[in-house]
Amino acid sequence: MQPKQSINDFVIKFANVNGTGSASANGMFAKAIFRMGIPVSPRNIFPSNIQGLPTWYEVRISRDGYLGRRGGIDMMVSVNPQSFAKDVGEVEPGGYMLYDSTKPLDLRHVRRDINYLGIPLTEMCLREYTDSRQRQLFKNVIYVGALAALLNIDFSILKDLVGEQFKGKEKLITPNIHALEMGHQYATTHFQCPLGIHLKAGEQTPKHIQEFDQILMDGNTAAALGAVYAGATVAAWYPITPSTSVVDAFEKYCRRLRIDPGTGKKNYAIVQAEDELSAMGMVIGANWNGARAFTATSGPGVSLMSEFLGLAYFAEVPAVLVDVQRAGPSTGMPTRTQQSDILAAAYASHGDTKHLLFFPATPAECFSMTVEAFDLAERLQTPVIIMSDLDLGMNEWMSPPLEFDDNYRYDRGKVFSGEDLEAMTERFGRYLDVDGDGIPYRTYPGAHPTKGAYFTRGSSRDEYAAYTEDGDVYVRNMDRLLKKFETAKSLVPEAKIKPAAEPTKDALLFFGTTASPAYEALETLEKEGIHLDTLRLRSFPFTQEVEDFIEAHDRIFVIEQNRDGQMRRLLLNETNVEANAKLISVVEYDGLPVTARKIASVIRGAMGINNVTPLVPKEKELAS
Amino acid sequence: MTYAKPAFRHPDAKTNDVGCTRRDYEGGLSTLCAGCGHDSISAAIIDACYELSIEPHRVAKLSGIGCSSKTPAYFLSGSHSFNSVHGRMPSVATGANLANRDLIYIGVSGDGDTASIGMGQFAHVMRRNLNMTYIVENNGCYGLTKGQDSATMDTDSVSKKGDINPYTPIDLVRVGIEVGATFVGRSFSGDKAQLVPLIKAAISHRGFALLDVISPCVTFNNHQGSTKSYASFREHNESMPVDFVPRREAITTSYDAGVVHEVCMHDGSVLRLQKVNEEYDIEDAQSALDAIAHHAKEERILTGLLYINRDSEELHDVLQTAGKPLNTLSQRELCPGSRFLDSINAGLR
């Protein structure tokens, strides 16, 4: 079979064993391509384990700037015998299989339609190194060196990256560069370099990539920086994959930026709580007392925090929560991605409760939305949940640079200061709707010697915060909370609407990490003459434009990464349009990010273009 | 409620050092049962705060859920209060304290709120040595749900329905000493002479102060056969008197008998304690645990200040937070601005 030919447009996957140091070598590979100015999107597909199990790293190179998963593998770098059989099966016909040829290939797994590139990685390391750890680590560096030759990676960039990685540990630089050279030399002497698939610097990139001087960063770090910029001073958390790096990064930046120069003391406090209940309790306590506080968690944590989220909603205390979603239910697949906490987060807690949700799609949005979340939580005196996911949070994404306007000022919301209270002649009513927007005024403890103290509680109270079981007063309060939720619609991030090239009654609706593959599928379909308007949701409650969009279309494909079409259900629940027959679920929930190919094929199928089975049976799609 | 507290204030009412009368430390009318031990504890908190000349608005009151957790409505109406969710007051108190280290934090909880649903948070707030006073109003039963046994109920104690409790009780003071509380006392709602100075000392203590206050439930747990009734507790109470002498005040009380031990508190005030025997060193955790166990074996309940560690690091010391409360920091102090972001962006290229 003719080997695959492609310049700057292919997918390469690394099959490794976790805990063997492959992550840093693979990361260096992706970063080198990024530095060459070629659009790249790397993804870790890792086990919930510390050492010894299969782990993969999938890197998509896309001259068109598509950052979502494409589907299909053009080249497999196989350094894990455990998963060899499965890995070899994933390579597309004409693709390449780079493997450790120290031992002969298992003939049961040899395919005739792919190309094998054997490099005796183990043997080379045994010959070169005496230390067992080095023998393992340098295997990874050697194959990166070989790939540099096979794929045409700028070798000087790799050398720079090694220098940056081992800054401060200079004696490690030379051996790493030597290992890179060993691999490079082996490839140039044994194979025709470059391969049919390879890289070429200086090629034209699409406009949206050119527009910015791109950065490569993960969403969790971006969210953490958002919390730093928003002035969060208290973080309370309980470790859970895939959210842990949010607080880790927050701490890293605080150590750098928040040390009081005079005393050396910290202008922040981070507490690792005993569980997620406690983490959210601390966040609520700190916000109640006038500090900006947040936590980060994933699905199981959201379940535990529900009780406190209900308290914050009802007692009207700000709180910010970054939910880095993973595959549920229960423990589910802790290291796989999903968008399956939508309903649990929107309605977290018993009773009539609703929460604001933000849906970032890029690291830049993880940053800006986290900053905004603190403003809205305080403005509306309610929790705001940032619905990130594992794919966005833990993988590195090409992103426009983070931006911050120095003229922007925090909105601390409606707070009466000691001076305000001093000047007040009327009685302070903590839950009085003074302005008619459903948002009352609050005071911080200790603000004034004789005025402004009130009783915060999760039980029913009147406008002056006094306990009540009077049904009318209770209803008045619940209705005000609903009015406040209406007010939120004018404050939350608006949806992004993009009309098709030609007028159409069909549309795609998506949010978060589904955006990248959805936009790609859209372009593919457009070339085929299928036109769809798009709406990217960025927040809940849904704004008027979302309702108008649904109203204006006959058929809207709602793409999401969960089994039950949770966003579709939320749209049906929370909009005032007749949408049951219009909203068609397109779901993917195997724990890997949905691919553009799948989305495109489902839409084609639904349009009757070709006979492709939708991802879910038809009758289920249309069920409400 | 059909009546309200009169607004009248006696013109000659005594004022304390901050110009407040005792009335300024009161709260709303209690809705608890007549004779409830909890009301005596509220009164003791009022006395303690008045006598310590604390400005009411510098106190934050926190509680969980249950009869005990309602009581912050009945004292210090000039203070902010947070009646949180069942068993979760410690975490709310922790967050509040992190945000503003300058306020005085008084938490009120019950035996259900602390020893059952809140056992996890209770243990962890103590091991973090949060600077707060944590009062457990301990009656051995659940009042609002009509008298079920709680986890502090003694083995073989008889419930009002006649059931004998088969389970081992959780002794809060022993748990407190074991997991890191740095001030541990036990008292009795009916012993104001001991309770008021203990609360004053607890508030003056820098670190976590636990007060386990036996507070009989007159409705569900005050009958013959209950070990948490007024009669039973009075019979078994081995009380160690406590006298709290604020800073700069002359010591006037004198003890007639027993061993008097003086403890100088962090803020300069002095605690005078009468101990049950000379061997017992209240600054030694093991000695305190031994004394409590020894008395329990003889069916005596030791009350008073049981353990104190005066030189501990409270949570802010451990975390090395700045002296200026975090909730007073401005955007200028907290936000790094766009130039730092440029350097972040540069590092990600």
Buried b / exposed e over B115-129, threshold 16 CB at 10 Å, is bbbbbbbbbbbbebb
Instruction: Say how far apart CA B78 and CA B26 lie, in whole Å.
Output: 8
Ramachandran angles phi, psi of A99, nearest 5° = -140, 165
Q: Residue A401's pLDDT band (boundaries 50, 70, 90)?
A: very high
Domains and CATH numbers, chain A: 6-206 (3.40.920.10), 216-399 (3.40.50.970), 496-622 (3.40.50.920)
Residue range A580-600: mean pLDDT, rounded: 95
User: Taking a C-beta distance cutoff of 8 angstroms, is the pair A557, A518 a contact?
Assistant: no
Residue B47 confidence (pLDDT): 98
Per-residue pLDDT for A404 more than 60? yes
Residue A614 confidence (pLDDT): 44
Instruction: Say how far apart CA A177 and CA A162 lie, in whole Å.
Output: 7
Interface contact flag, A290 B83, Cβ < 8 Å: no
| Strand order, beta sheet including A539-540 | A269-272, A234-237, A293-297, A319-325, A383-389, A356-358, A539-540
Residue percentage of chain B with pLDDT more than 70: 95
Contact with chain A for residue B205, Cβ under 8 A: no
Residue range A40-58: mean pLDDT, rounded: 94
Q: Which of A217, A266, A289, A399 to mutate to test the interface with B (most CBs of B within 10 A)?
A: A289
Quick one: tokens of A364?
């830049």
Residue range B21-30: mean pLDDT, rounded: 96
Question: Looking at beta carbons, which residues of chain B come within 8 Å of A35?
Answer: 349
Interface contact flag, A404 B97, Cβ < 8 Å: no
Across chain A, mean pLDDT equals 95
Per-residue pLDDT for A609 more than 80? no
Q: Which of B338, B348, B349 to mutate to test the interface with A (most CBs of A within 10 A)?
A: B348
**pLDDT tens track for B318-333:** 999 999 999 999 999 9
**pLDDT tens track for A503-549:** 999 999 999 999 999 999 999 999 999 999 999 999 999 999 999 99
Question: Looking at beta carbons, which residues of chain A come within 8 Å of B333?
Answer: 267
Residue B249 confidence (pLDDT): 63
Could you say which of B80, B83, B321 has the minimum Cβ distance to residue A453?
Answer: B80
Residue B248 confidence (pLDDT): 61
Beta bridge partners of A387: A323
A474: closest CA of chain B, how far (Å): 18
Interface contact flag, A233 B329, Cβ < 8 Å: yes
Query: Which regions of A417-473 does DSSP assign to beta strands (E)?
Result: 455-457
Interfacial B residues in 4-63 facing A (CB < 8 Å): 55-58, 60, 62
Contact with chain A for residue B343, Cβ under 8 A: no
Lowest mean pLDDT among A118-132, A206-220, A395-409, B219-233: A206-220
**pLDDT tens track for B139-178:** 999 999 999 999 999 999 999 999 999 999 999 999 999 9
Residue range A19-24: mean pLDDT, rounded: 92
Question: Looking at beta carbons, which residues of chain B come within 8 Å of A281?
Answer: 84, 88, 90-92, 94-95, 121
Question: Looking at beta carbons, which residues of chain A come within 8 Å of B180?
Answer: none
Residue A74 confidence (pLDDT): 98
B167: closest CA of chain A, how far (Å): 26
Per-residue pLDDT for B5 more than 80? no
Q: For residue B278, give the 3-state DSSP assignment.
A: coil
Q: At which residue do the structure tokens 């949905």 appear? A: A594
Question: Looking at beta carbons, which residues of chain A come within 8 Å of B326?
Answer: 233-234, 267-269, 286, 291
Residue range B246-256: mean pLDDT, rounded: 59
B178: closest CA of chain A, how far (Å): 17
Residue A210 confidence (pLDDT): 81
Contact with chain A for residue B236, Cβ under 8 A: no
- Angle at CA A244, nearest 5°, toward A238 and A250? 100
Q: Residue B11's pLDDT band (boundaries 50, 70, 90)?
A: confident
DSSP codes, B214-277: E---TTTS-STT-TTSHHHHHHHEEE--EEEE-TTPPP----SSSEEEEEE-TTS-EEEEEES-
Residue percentage of chain B with pLDDT more than 90: 85
Across chain B, mean pLDDT equals 93
Domains and CATH numbers, chain B: 22-347 (3.40.50.970)
Interface contact flag, A458 B98, Cβ < 8 Å: no
Could you say which of B96, B324, B335 has the minimum Cβ distance to residue A288?
Answer: B96
A217: closest CA of chain B, how far (Å): 7
Residue range B64-93: mean pLDDT, rounded: 97
Instruction: Say how far apart CA A573 and CA B228 lie, in whole Å.
Output: 52
Instruction: Say how far apart CA A245 and CA A239 lie, in whole Å.
Output: 9
Question: Looking at beta carbons, which residues of chain B come within 8 Å of A455?
Answer: 72-73, 81, 83
Interface contact flag, A404 B85, Cβ < 8 Å: no
Interface contact flag, A260 B322, Cβ < 8 Å: yes
B112: closest CA of chain A, how far (Å): 18
- CB neighbours of A465 closer than 8 A, spacing ≥ 6? A429, A430, A431, A454, A455, A456, A457
Residue A606 confidence (pLDDT): 87
Residue B253 confidence (pLDDT): 53
CA distances A580 to A380, A433, A558, A574, Å, are 31, 36, 12, 12
Query: Which regions of chain B does DSSP assign to beta strands (E)?
Result: 59-63, 80-83, 104-110, 132-138, 141-142, 148-149, 183-188, 208-214, 237-239, 242-245, 259-264, 270-275, 301-308
Per-residue pLDDT for B252 more than 70? no
Instruction: Say how far apart CA B41 and CA B46 lie, in whole Å.
Output: 9
Lowest mean pLDDT among A63-77, A464-478, A565-579, B239-253: B239-253
For chain B, state the CA radius of gyration: 21
Residue B262 confidence (pLDDT): 86
Residue range A82-102: mean pLDDT, rounded: 96
Largest CA distance in chain A: 89
Lowest mean pLDDT among A185-199, B6-20, B205-219: B6-20
Interface contact flag, B349 A257, Cβ < 8 Å: no
Interface contact flag, A233 B92, Cβ < 8 Å: no
Question: Looking at beta carbons, which residues of chain A come within 8 Å of B98?
Answer: 234, 269, 271, 282, 285-286, 291, 293
Residue A613 confidence (pLDDT): 45
Question: Looking at beta carbons, which residues of chain A come within 8 Å of B97?
Answer: 285
Residue range A262-272: mean pLDDT, rounded: 97
Q: Residue B276's pLDDT band (boundaries 50, 70, 90)?
A: confident
Model confidence, pTM = 0.95
A41: closest CA of chain B, how far (Å): 14
Per-residue pLDDT for A225 more than 80? yes
Interfacial B residues in 245-284 facing A (CB < 8 Å): none
Contact with chain A for residue B131, Cβ under 8 A: no
Could you say which of A307, A410, A445 has the minimum Cβ distance to residue B85?
Answer: A307
Interfacial B residues in 59-118 facing A (CB < 8 Å): 60, 62, 72-73, 77-85, 88, 90-100, 102-103
Lowest mean pLDDT among A399-408, A569-578, B7-16: B7-16
Instruction: Say how far apart CA A315 and CA A308 lie, in whole Å.
Output: 10
CA closest to A289 among chain B residues:
B96
